[in-house]
Structure 1
Amino acid sequence: MPRPALPSRSARLPRLAVTLPTDTTWAGVRRVALRAALTAVAVPVATGLAIMAGERLRRHRHPLDAPFPTAPPTDAQVGRTTTTVYTSGHDLYDAMLEAIRGAKHHVFLETFIWKADEVGQAFKQALADAAARGVAVYVVYDGFANLVVPPSFFRFPRAVHVLRFPVLRPGILWGGIRYSGRDHRKLLVVDDEVGFVGGYNLGDLYAAHWRDTHLRLEGPAVWELRNSFVDFWNRWRRPRLPVLQDVGSPSWLPQLRAARNAPSDLVFPIRGIYLDAIDRATSHVHITQAYFIPDREILAALLAAARRGVDVRVLVPERSNHVVADWLARGHYATLLRGGVRIFLYQGAMIHAKTATIDGRWSTVGTANIDRLSLTGNYEINLEIVDRDVARTLEDVFAMDLGNARELTLAAWERRPAFQKVGERLVAPLGPLL
């Protein structure tokens, strides 16, 4: 008897209707994805521009020019190095110019912003005069930060060696952090005997209308600043500029050290010294910041300190010169306040200091803000000091500044208008840029 014929393999399998996407379908997907991406970028950017426009109108009516308290320069001895804390731009500039005018061997000046105003001209003339009497003068300034300054201002006599840190560098568009950082440092070294470092840029505005903090060193620890300048100069100098020699240091001062961020080497120790110091806190943490946009780890460290009973206080400007940074900072306020961190808002003027003191023992003064640009982006330098006298001075400065600030409470913050809450969320994606 013949066997029945089996259906073919293809006949035994269920037929599946598979529709391959056409070119038109893929084009539609790409269009939707592109629109979504553009919207994700456009919304925070548009929000930021609107905030900036509103602040510009507000500043025209209510400028940040209110008077504020300052303290006289205060000395402390750290080993064989004398430190002096400055809170007045006039006092600081007088001391810096006196050092330059008394220079005998060399002057190293590095700054982020250098205005072509009365203060800026005084520094330029002092450097030119020093070079004319045979002092070796080396100057570094950031090209991007000074785009609005007339280029003619930075034309020095041939005897002055000038390094303009370039706006554009090879690899800046595709090379990541190594090629994107700005030179945000502000330091001066004279004859390896006197050095200055801190938040002050050079200009009339900073002398009179910004509350900032700078530190002067006299003694062996000046090497910390010299070494930082020499390394940066030799890394970025052009062939026509001379090489600076690294002289080494016979003195070690472990309680006063410089932490230097160097994006080209992917070295960012300043963030580490903050995290280590906050983790050690048992009594109090006092932080003053111009732009306070903490990352996840620093935020967690501050909250952990508050949970274990540490009195954590953060002083920031109620209004700064970068309004978008203010709004990004405000996105963290609710978390900080609910976690027991106290926030104080400086009134009527810009506070630009980058300082902290912990438990009456540890302090830092320098150029780095607690934000992404400073901690993992720019060239920065902060001094880390373990000394009770320096800490006491900075605690007194902090108390003085609190006298010109108001405390922000959680209840008051939660009552802010709804449009502010929406704006904070919309602008939040810009956080990684600042």
Structure 2
Amino acid sequence: MQSRLLPGLSLNVSPETVRSVRTIATRAAIAMAAVPLLAAAALTVTDKVRRRMHPLTSRFPTEKPLTEQVGDTETTVYTFGADLYAAMLEAVRGAQHTVMLETYIWKDDAVGQEFKQALIDAAARGVKVYIIYDGFANLVVPYSFFRFPRHLTQASPKTLHVLRFPALRPGLLMLDIRRSGRDHRKILVVDDEIGFVGGYNLGSLYATQWRDTHLRLQGPAVWELRNAFVDFWNRHRRPELPVLHDIGSTDWLPHLKAARNAPSELVFPIRGIYLDAIDRAVSHVYITQAYFIPDHDILAALLTAARRGVDVRVVMPERSNHVVADWLARGFYATLLRGGVRIFLYEGAMIHAKTAVIDGRWTTVGTANIDRLSLTGNYEVNLEIVDPALAGRMEDVFRMDMSNARELTIAEWERRSRIAQIGEALIAPLRPLL
């Protein structure tokens, strides 16, 4: 083989040399890809040991259910799982026509069994019950738990219908989160009159040991949640499952709307409502997030707001249930703190809420985290509400959570160990996946 780069210079390269170079390059690429995965594995193992020694079981402040009227719809904020589950079960047990339940995680424990029995009882008395659950999120739950009595699911008339969102999706092997994301939504709609949405999954752990936020609606705005459920059901149902009818709505509620991410349709409004609201802020932005890994635009919007004098605060777990997400979030701390954003780390317990309140007017409560997986990969739903009274309630909740959090300063952060900095750099390539 002759080189054409330098006239008169010949370069003889054997096929064996070419193959060797290719092999070395391939192995180097594999090694580079393996490094962040190995670092994540090491963090996970270390965190499991730490959890045994120091479990996240501390008591934390909660607030009694808070109710405000938004137009013709009554809204109630729940900050304690036991209170929420009591209200949800009361609604299911009082159902007369339909129950629509969609959940990400549904544990086979005391709380999970109580919900299962309440749904069976509703279907047995003739209520039409429709259930959606995510297959991947419940791989550790015995498959038998999701079996329901045959006389309700197979006999005629069928009153209980179950849709399992598949555990394996076509984009998984190609790491395409749009085609491999999960059904991360948590919705309950009863008789088209009562609806619930928020961060709570179903399980005993979440009843008392996790701080989360859910919202109950009663009134015409429940259509927003019903419509979200119906559209998802009809798109993903198997042929043997019935089509649910879209009843439409005569009420237009621009001050209370559901934003629904549907990645297979390239619809991602939740990210848009965050960006629009942050850009409008003139006083304060209060964000509570379980996993805070902002993309470039959201990060830029928060920093821009802080530069113009907006009080930007983020509450997130000091330790969450996903240590890799924690370490990926750490990679943004220096930029946020230097840019004037205040970070508060929730102590002793897991905070799982996905909420924000801006300028005492705008509120969102829902299922989406501020990370790439939620904002561009998963099916999610967030309510967007413009109402000063509800925003005031949510600011009270935010201040309550700050009372159980410590503020992280830039001085403290810059004193972290060199090993911690190396760890953050090693797992940074995983950001596109989360």
Which residue does 1:278 correspond to in 2?
Answer: 278
Residue 45 of structure 1 aligns to which amino acid in structure 2? Answer: L
Task: Describe the superposition over 1:178-218 as per-residue Cα deviations: whole angstroms up to 9, x where unpaired.
Answer: 42110000010001000000000000000010000000000
Structure 1 position 73 matched with structure 2 position 65: yes
CA distance in 1, matches of 2:177, 2:323: 24
Give yes or no for contact 1:112–1:186 (8 Å, CA) kept in 2: yes
Displacement of 1:33 in angstroms is 1.5
Give yes or no for contact 2:175–2:433 (8 Å, CA) kept in 1: no
SS of match in other structure, 1:356: strand
Displacement of 1:20 in angstroms is 5.3
Which residue does 1:104 correspond to in 2?
Answer: 96
Q: For residues 15 and 253 of structure 1, do their structure 2 counterparts lie closer, same or farther at Cα, with a shift above 3 Å needed?
A: closer
Q: For residues 154 and 58 of structure 1, do their structure 2 counterparts lie closer, same or farther at Cα, with a shift above 3 Å needed?
A: same
Give the 5 Å matches for 1:243-392.
243-392=243-392
Which residue does 1:182 correspond to in 2?
Answer: 182
CA distance in 1, matches of 2:71, 2:15: 74
Displacement of 1:16 in angstroms is 2.0
CA distance in 2, matches of 1:429, 1:179: 20
CA distance in 1, matches of 2:367, 2:106: 15
Greater CA drift, 14-23 or 228-237: 14-23
Q: Please tell me whether Structure 1 or Structure 2 has the larger radius of gyration of its CA atoms.
A: 1
When normalised by structure 1's length, the TM-score is 0.95
Displacement of 1:156 in angstroms is 1.0
Structure 1 position 211 matched with structure 2 position 205: no
Displacement of 1:252 in angstroms is 0.5
Give yes or no for contact 1:197–1:215 (8 Å, CA) kept in 2: yes
CA distance in 1, matches of 2:378, 2:110: 28
In structure 2, stretches of 5+ residues that fail to align are: 1-5, 154-158
Residue 423 of structure 1 aligns to which amino acid in structure 2? Answer: G
CA distance in 1, matches of 2:148, 2:283: 50
Which residue does 1:40 correspond to in 2?
Answer: 32
CA distance in 1, matches of 2:217, 2:165: 25
Task: Describe the superposition over 1:31-86 as per-residue Cα deviations: whole angstroms up to 9, x where unpaired.
Answer: 12112211111111111111111111111110000000100001111110010000
Q: Over the residues paired in the alignment, what is the CA RMSD in angstroms?
A: 1.2
CA distance in 2, matches of 1:282, 1:217: 29
Displacement of 1:342 in angstroms is 0.2
Residue 63 of structure 1 aligns to which amino acid in structure 2? Answer: P
Give the 5 Å matches for 1:54-69.
54-69=46-61
SS of match in other structure, 1:82: strand
Residue 167 of structure 2 aligns to which amino acid in structure 1? Answer: V
SS of match in other structure, 2:384: strand
Which residue does 2:123 correspond to in 1?
Answer: 131
SS of match in other structure, 1:217: strand
CA distance in 2, matches of 1:175, 1:265: 18
In structure 1, stretches of 5+ residues that fail to align are: 1-13
Which residue does 1:120 correspond to in 2?
Answer: 112
Displacement of 1:318 in angstroms is 0.2
Displacement of 1:160 in angstroms is 1.4
SS of match in other structure, 2:200: coil
CA distance in 1, matches of 2:18, 2:390: 65
Give yes or no for contact 1:177–1:264 (8 Å, CA) kept in 2: no
Q: For residues 51 and 173 of structure 1, do their structure 2 counterparts lie closer, same or farther at Cα, with a shift above 3 Å needed?
A: closer
CA distance in 2, matches of 1:312, 1:172: 36
SS of match in other structure, 2:396: helix
Residue 39 of structure 1 aligns to which amino acid in structure 2? Answer: A
Task: Describe the superposition over 1:342-393 as per-residue Cα deviations: whole angstroms up to 9, x where unpaired.
Answer: 0000000000000000000001000000001000100000000000011000
CA distance in 1, matches of 2:310, 2:432: 29
Displacement of 1:171 in angstroms is 5.3
Which residue does 2:3 correspond to in 1?
Answer: none
SS of match in other structure, 1:168: coil
Give yes or no for contact 1:76–1:390 (8 Å, CA) kept in 2: yes
Residue 116 of structure 1 aligns to which amino acid in structure 2? Answer: D
CA distance in 2, matches of 1:21, 1:226: 67
Greater CA drift, 367-376 or 29-38: 29-38
Displacement of 1:177 in angstroms is 4.2
CA distance in 2, matches of 1:254, 1:400: 29
Give the 5 Å matches for 1:411-422.
411-422=411-422
Residue 43 of structure 2 aligns to which amino acid in structure 1? Answer: I
CA distance in 2, matches of 1:145, 1:137: 21
Displacement of 1:18 in angstroms is 3.2
Displacement of 1:175 in angstroms is 9.1
Q: Which runs of 4+ in 1 moved over 3 A?
A: 169-178
Which residue does 1:88 correspond to in 2?
Answer: 80
Give yes or no for contact 1:178–1:265 (8 Å, CA) kept in 2: no
Give yes or no for contact 2:360–2:391 (8 Å, CA) kept in 1: yes
SS of match in other structure, 1:26: helix
* Total equivalences in the alignment: 421
SS of match in other structure, 2:356: strand
Structure 1 position 143 matched with structure 2 position 135: yes
SS of match in other structure, 1:348: coil
CA distance in 1, matches of 2:178, 2:404: 39
SS of match in other structure, 1:202: coil
SS of match in other structure, 2:192: coil
